[in-house]
Amino acid sequence: MENVNLKITGMHCASCALNIEKSIKKQPGVKNVSVNYANNQARVEFDTQEISQDNISEVIAKAGDYKVIDESDDYTEINMTSQAYRRFIWSIVFTVPLFATMFYMPEFNINILGVGLVKWLMSLLAFVVVFIIGWQFHKGMLSQLKQFRSNMDTLISIGTLSAFFYSLYAMFSDQHVYFETAATIITLILLGKYFEAKSKGRASTAIKKLLSLGVKQATILVDNQEQKKDIKNIKINDVVLVKPGEKIPLDGEIIEGETSIDESMLTGESIPVDKKTGSLVYGATINNQGAIKVKVTKIGQDTVLAQIIKLVEDAQASKAPIQKLADKVSGIFVPVVITVAILTFVVWFWLIGSSFEISLINAVAVIVIACPCALGLATPTAIMVGSGKGAANGILIKDSQSLEIAHKINAVVFDKTGTLTKGQPAVTDINTASHDLTTSQLMGLACSLEASSEHSLANAFVKYARDNKLQLKATSRIEAIKGKGIKGLVDKQEIYLGNTELLKNLQVEANAVYKVAFEDYASQGKTPIYFVKDQQVMGVVAVADVIREQSKQAVADLQQDIEVYMLTGDHKLTAQAIAKDLGIKNIIAEVLPDQKVTKITELQKQGKIVAFVGDGINDAPALTKADIGIAVGGGTDIAMESGNIVLMNSDPTKVISAINLSKKTFSTIKQNLFFAFIYNIIAIPLAALGFLNPMIAAAAMSLSSVSGVTNSLRIKRAKI
């Protein structure tokens, strides 16, 4: 299976997007497809054995007047906006003289075929606007008719052609003509399209900004000689020189030098991060101080920046569940409007007995004022702006569904280590009181054993050994005991390190001194660990992790309207002490890694919408099981992959920001959909009853599309 994002030109409304989507879905080998009118993209998942990307592009082209373009063609929103602007300007040049005839009709004593010269000139000006400048709408209608489908082009084409050809008839029968109406409709719609393109361009600025962050060239060192090289030609293990004020070209490791790095483009935090030899740095971040040499470790699509761009693009291309309602309405919208317009003509002409002229004008007004675009733009533009706002603040939302669900969260479960705490534990206490084993001897054995462990607490022992210059001993048969501890041979001696559950398994009883020490350490919020050798408890080591500065504030803010839980494998006393310090009331302690999913499920069965916040390898199943999995930035790749939302730094207050962003985005979507529905519900009957002429209808239709996009743009200014 392969996933691709295709850039499409030629879409004019939500119906276009639906038509393309239906055409692709019919193809064998296509598993999933989502076409987004707001960003002119199609996201397609397909089996390469059954269908190729070129085949999909051909299907899109055959679905109507559409074309798949390469991003490298630079056919961006800027190009689309400038094209829309030019069309509008040319249209207004030819329409203004026509519009002026509504207020002053010059008279010339020149007749051609019995028709005055002025009316011939009016028909010519209208022809240019309707058939040349506005040809895109008629072309679109013809393309749709071939597929037995309809879209907004159908409405515009029928409306303007009706007004134009009736005016031709009226011109020869010496009746009032409506050439200015046909031209003005096209002009006002083109004005709306220009504002819409401009607003859509502003909505997609997040991607543009991210793309602009990368650098094109870097200085590499070859035999200590500096050489300029294009980024695309740099390889893994190349060494680049980054001077103060320059951007880091690619992801890598500092092999020489010290500095501070501005990582705000990744994390949303403006405070520079100190870096030294061995520190990881990321492409597009800024070197503030000293010159550094960086060994490149990731290039191309593997860099953090490239992954961020992909995540934002995927989120913007996906469809939120609420969009399904708008899609259903848009799918039947145009046929319903055409039916209403025909009924309007019939009622006015045959039942009421009005003139053909009045009946036609009212029918045209119905056709012109209907706006499927507002419905089509309501959700995707808000998603685009919302996901962009998140990316700018170090919050990466993987799909629009997550952005929609997050505002419903009523329970947040934090994994303790690395999330509420810094994940940088240190050995604080060592008790060998009742045995002859010295502290140095015990820690020499313990550190040797833990050096082979991947558990987060193992780092505390490694750090202790390094700080105290302990000589590590040879180890073998290392085995992690899930949720209980670790065992192995150290210097040919069998050693165990673990909790009370480990002692139960070993059927070993700790003496009173060690039991008291264990509980005392636990009550202080430390993690106590028994040291077992020769089937005896010979000591207790306490490890403590530092609580993050922002954790208390995050918990306090969340608990105003959301239940907060702390989940940990720690002893109950340890968990209670840490929870008390943080102000957390709900504690789930002594949980084995494979029990985390069970605990999440239990909360869901109680009717709670659960967000799980974690960072470790053993958090991945829980991140996946939760309604929303939130992976923190300092975590592992697998945790980042499993989360629905990724926080680029480890600040737990970002959880609140993500929820607030969801609330603001979803509120905006509801506003957009409400006004789109209300607009059509009110406007179409008014036009059918004869209260709106076609020109006012065209202006109102254009305004409704633009207003939805403009409302979505307010998310950019929102505080989260």
Residues identified as active-site = 415
Q: At what angle do helices 356-369 and 653-688 cross, to 10 degrees?
A: 170
User: Residue 217: CA atoms inside 13 Å, Cβ hemisphere, count?
Assistant: 5
Of 559, 609, 605, 601, residue with least CA distance to 584: 559
Of 613, 618, 617, residue with least CA distance to 645: 613
- Burial class from Cβ neighbours inside 10 Å (0-12, 13-18, 19+) for residue 111 reads exposed
With the C-alpha atoms ordered 111, 117, 119, 120, is the resulting torsion angle positive or negative? positive
The separation between CA 305 and the C-alpha centre of its own chain, rounded to angstroms, equals 14
Residue showing tokens 């209260």: 691
Q: For the beta carbon of residue 719, count every other beta carbon within 10 angstroms.
A: 6
- Give the tokens for residue 84: 């829309």
With the C-alpha atoms ordered 591, 592, 593, 598, is the resulting torsion angle positive or negative? negative
Rounded CA separation 623/670 (Å): 28
**Are 14 and 327 spatial neighbours (Cβ–Cβ below 8 Å)?**
yes
Task: Indicate the pairing of strand 586-588 with strand 563-567.
Answer: parallel
Of 585, 522, 524, 596, residue with least CA distance to 559: 585
Beta strand ranges found along 239-342 (DSSP E): 239-242, 251-256, 259-262, 273-275, 280-281, 286-287, 292-298
- Identity of the residue numbered 79: N
Rounded CA separation 190/703 (Å): 11
Angle at 295 between CA 289 and CA 297, to 5 degrees: 120
Residue 645: CB partners within 8 Å, gap ≥ 6?
395, 396, 397, 398, 402, 406, 628, 629, 630, 631, 658
Rounded CA separation 577/526 (Å): 8
Angle at 371 between CA 370 and CA 375, to 5 degrees: 140
Rounded CA separation 436/434 (Å): 7
- Identity of the residue numbered 198: K
**Are 644 and 433 spatial neighbours (Cβ–Cβ below 8 Å)?**
no
DSSP annotation of 548: P
Beta strand ranges found along 268-328 (DSSP E): 273-275, 280-281, 286-287, 292-298
DSSP annotation of 213: H
Rounded CA separation 198/82 (Å): 9
**Are 204 and 77 spatial neighbours (Cβ–Cβ below 8 Å)?**
yes
Of 326, 266, 318, residue with least CA distance to 648: 266
What strands lie across the sheet with 30-36, from one edge to the other?
30-36, 41-46, 2-9, 67-69
Rounded CA separation 666/664 (Å): 6
Rounded CA separation 192/377 (Å): 13
Query: What is the b/e burial string over 4-28, where b = at least 16 CB atoms within 10 angstroms of the residue's CB?
Result: ebbbbebbbbbbbbbbbbebbeebe
